[in-house]
Structure 1
């Protein structure tokens, strides 16, 4: 099992941090996995480069492969009523950060089940971009 887990980590680390580009702008996640412990808070990095305001964009954070909606920012506000119940009350997107194109998501009170690859997707209706960040929550020993 450990071999399989390590193999998955190696494969996931090869995923591109930048997945969409248009007009010179792109959404960038992290090319290195974040490692944290249960109960901790972590910020999943993601930003638009070059910097541009994302205040009027729709921002969607979701877990890869299982398409779990982790956080939705739409119409200039958080839409917590549609996010997956496992994440309700545990996520935060900095509204001040959005001014500078920072799409990073804070996830509080981590659980081992939070491990996985997260995608942040931003769109203004014409342009869109997506970045990925891997989170590894160490199990309790």
Structure 2
């Protein structure tokens, strides 16, 4: 089941990021890419946003990734919803930053100007666990070491 969960992460590129500050949740629709292993998710934001301030205060996050794009029409009963729990990490290595930026641009060419903005920062969510809802009744939970 863990590989199925990682496949959902790797085959999609849009999520909802939930952060918390002072007990108040904040959600953001985000484009993302993942590493090949399905252990890290990379996102980009301006440093002057509520989400970034929340991440700096509280690095624990939740992301929601679903399969609704691939299950359009009457196939809604087959939609899977994956909740990803993880931890925010900055990316300090400039070589890794550039590699991620290149991969991000390949997957999301519409974000070219955003990726070039000096006020924008690419960051990592290190995945700790997954909860997969397969339809409305079947739930599965996995952790990553």
TM-score where L is the length of structure 2 = 0.26
Larger relative contact order (Cα-Cα within 8 Å, sequence gap ≥ 6): 1
| TM-score normalised over the length of structure 1 | 0.27
Query: Which structure: greater helix fraction?
Result: 2
